[in-house]
Structure 1
């Protein structure tokens, strides 16, 4: 649900009834992972996706049924050999989907969607397996562990669920967690679907050059909060980078040391000027960020590495540098170059190889546990 929070928030505000289908579990190859969601309102408007098209038609009908009868159901979809037109996943995987009606006054769901829309850290925990009287229980949990909502009016279950959801939120994960059997208050235990929503990761582009304009657009398209930084005020202007979230005039290394980064941050160095690059990369390669890339020819790369070694950067630190930046796509234009950089960032974060899928035997849809945190 939180995946499509931006589109659901106006529905809550307008007082619309709707039903939401959420991927709860995946087995084998499947196009969407846990947390993927599709919603349908009473007018038949659809937002989101649970399978990239494989089972959307049947899920749409189940959402309409949930709106009519008010029941929450869980359905499993998999590949059908007998009937190629049956609702199933032709990729061979199996997905479990929870379909639930949602009323606009639902305070927990509304609060979680609103927080995600504001780009605040929030986790939404919903009971997807357990005693009938607990199904539909939900909690909205913030980064400090505070929560609202309940599970069947049982405080001990609420505390346990909130603790599990907080742990998932801390690592930015979405998936199911089990609350073990706890005697008479929870015979058989519970399964929770926990959806985590974090503020968008940062992309910092150093160097207000023509290539940066295209990379800003690519970064925004991928969902990054994009900052452009350059020491030259004549180039680092809002007019040149209208799609950037921030435009900063400062020396790159000084700005990097003063700003906040984390293990989802990607740093793209496009200046290819020694006086900017060396102090900047010296700092960048010692930060626990997701990606550091630097533009330049192979000759520039060799000379830059020599200067970085002289500055005290170790060989292990240098192995973190993606330079020349980007994948080999034969790119020429700024837009093509931005695409090659964005493709490398996705490959690094998701554990891809960057090789063509045609003729390869690597998994198309990787286990989320093998990926870097988004």
Structure 2
């Protein structure tokens, strides 16, 4: 639901009832992920998309029906029909499980409060019961990450405590996911499926080296939603005028800044200096941190020399295996802008454990393991590995 938080927040402020349709499960090549929502208010105004156009009309009609009936939440399934080319379904061949429910903001003030927190930029997790008893289906509660405060309740007991623990963990990871709660006769006999919608603080992109490649990468990082920091020990280069898209410009030795700044599992570190006096102490520290990605610019010769220096300084082979160098995917990049795209592509691929290979060079779902075509007609899965991520 957080993909349309701005409109839902406005409707809640005006105590305008609406029907909320949420993707609660996905199979195959569905166009949008779990947690995506669309909504229709009492005047017929619609917001959001669930499939890029394939099933929007059917979802709209179902929302209007739920608004009119005012009854219990409804489930709908959308798949692909080979028998009827005009049937409502996903042309991509995927399947969507959708929950549609009526929301009365006056009766659920905590949901309105959660949307206010999201719009203010505070880390927030909204727990949404998407499968379970009729009494709890569709109910919500939320957790604020910065103060670990809980608002709303599902059953005012063990279920609340279990949901809060799961929501807090997903909020720290910055990940929306569906989790199973209960089913244990000793502690919580009722089994629930809860979709945790997460609005996390922006992940960080730390760029070391105030060079032209850094200027281009800071623009791409900003576009991708990162909080971008550019750090360089040379004040003549590390200036706001050279990096207008960066959120922070830091003049300091890179390793000293990294030692004192905040990082987490979503942080990406890009070392673009290719200068040993900066790189070695910085990478020694970076490779020991539980961050999401560490990449370093340089030729293959520079990379080999860098590895030898890092080994001599005591960095283990397991840690060295985390280093993505030369940084970026092989796109034939030459300009700073092309190189920035190459680096961003590798970051996205690495985070999703994807292959980085052309989608046209395979078969199977585009959001699943890619299968390579063989000349002899056989198919071989591409294997993606994140080596050495022992955190």
TM-score band, normalised by shorter chain: 0.7 to 0.9
Name the structure 2 match of 1:275. Answer: 277
CA RMSD of aligned residues (A): 2.9
Give unpaired runs (5+ residues) of structure 2. 370-383
**Partner Cα distance (1:362, 1:339) in 2:** 26
Whether 2:290 is the aligned partner of 1:288: answer: yes
Q: Comparing 349-358 with 332-341, which one deviates more in the overlay?
A: 332-341
Name the structure 2 match of 1:216. Answer: 218
Name the structure 1 match of 2:29. Answer: 29
Q: Deviations over 1:242-291 (max 9, x none)?
A: 22221111111110011011111100111122221121112111111111
The answer as to whether partners of 2:176 and 2:195 remain within 8 angstroms in 1 is no
Task: Give 1:147 deviation, angstroms.
Answer: 1.9
The answer as to whether partners of 1:182 and 1:189 remain within 8 angstroms in 2 is no
Name the structure 2 match of 1:2. Answer: 2
Name the structure 2 match of 1:179. Answer: 182
Q: Secondary structure in 2 aligned to 1:204?
A: strand
The answer as to whether partners of 1:145 and 1:163 remain within 8 angstroms in 2 is no
Q: How does 1:71-86 map to 2 (within 5 A)?
A: 71=71, 72-86=73-87
Large movers: runs of 4+ above 6 Å: 370-373
The answer as to whether partners of 2:28 and 2:365 remain within 8 angstroms in 1 is no
**Partner Cα distance (2:296, 2:162) in 1:** 45
The answer as to whether partners of 2:35 and 2:176 remain within 8 angstroms in 1 is no
Q: Deviations over 1:299-333 (max 9, x none)?
A: 22222223222322232222211111110111122
Q: Secondary structure in 1 aligned to 2:128?
A: strand
**Partner Cα distance (1:167, 1:284) in 2:** 24
Relative distance call for 1:86 and 1:339 in structure 2 (3 A) is same
Name the structure 1 match of 2:305. Answer: 303
Q: Secondary structure in 1 aligned to 2:152?
A: strand
Q: Comparing 34-43 with 320-329, which one deviates more in the overlay?
A: 34-43
Name the structure 1 match of 2:331. Answer: 329
Q: Secondary structure in 2 aligned to 1:192?
A: strand
Q: Secondary structure in 2 aligned to 1:82?
A: coil
Q: How does 1:232-271 map to 2 (within 5 A)?
A: 232-271=234-273
Give unpaired runs (5+ residues) of structure 1. none
Name the structure 2 match of 1:39. Answer: 39
**Partner Cα distance (1:104, 1:241) in 2:** 43
**Partner Cα distance (2:286, 2:189) in 1:** 51
**Partner Cα distance (2:285, 2:7) in 1:** 39
Q: Deviations over 1:122-168 (max 9, x none)?
A: 221222233333333221123465422233x6545434443443444
**Partner Cα distance (2:92, 2:221) in 1:** 29
The answer as to whether partners of 2:23 and 2:96 remain within 8 angstroms in 1 is yes
Relative distance call for 1:161 and 1:299 in structure 2 (3 A) is closer
The answer as to whether partners of 1:181 and 1:190 remain within 8 angstroms in 2 is no
Relative distance call for 1:313 and 1:142 in structure 2 (3 A) is same
Q: Secondary structure in 1 aligned to 2:279?
A: helix
Task: Give 1:350 deviation, angstroms.
Answer: 0.2
Q: Secondary structure in 2 aligned to 1:20?
A: strand
**Partner Cα distance (2:385, 2:63) in 1:** 31
Q: Comparing 11-20 with 56-65, which one deviates more in the overlay?
A: 11-20
Task: Give TM-score, length-normalised by structure 2.
Answer: 0.84
Q: Secondary structure in 1 aligned to 2:134?
A: coil
Task: Give TM-score, length-normalised by structure 1.
Answer: 0.87
How many residue pairs end up in the alignment?
369
Task: Give 1:104 deviation, angstroms.
Answer: 4.0
**Partner Cα distance (1:164, 1:279) in 2:** 37
Name the structure 2 match of 1:99. Answer: 100
Relative distance call for 1:113 and 1:93 in structure 2 (3 A) is same
Relative distance call for 1:101 and 1:234 in structure 2 (3 A) is farther
Q: Deviations over 1:173-206 (max 9, x none)?
A: 41142332769xx986433222233212111111
The answer as to whether partners of 2:20 and 2:38 remain within 8 angstroms in 1 is yes
Q: Comparing 202-211 with 27-36, which one deviates more in the overlay?
A: 27-36
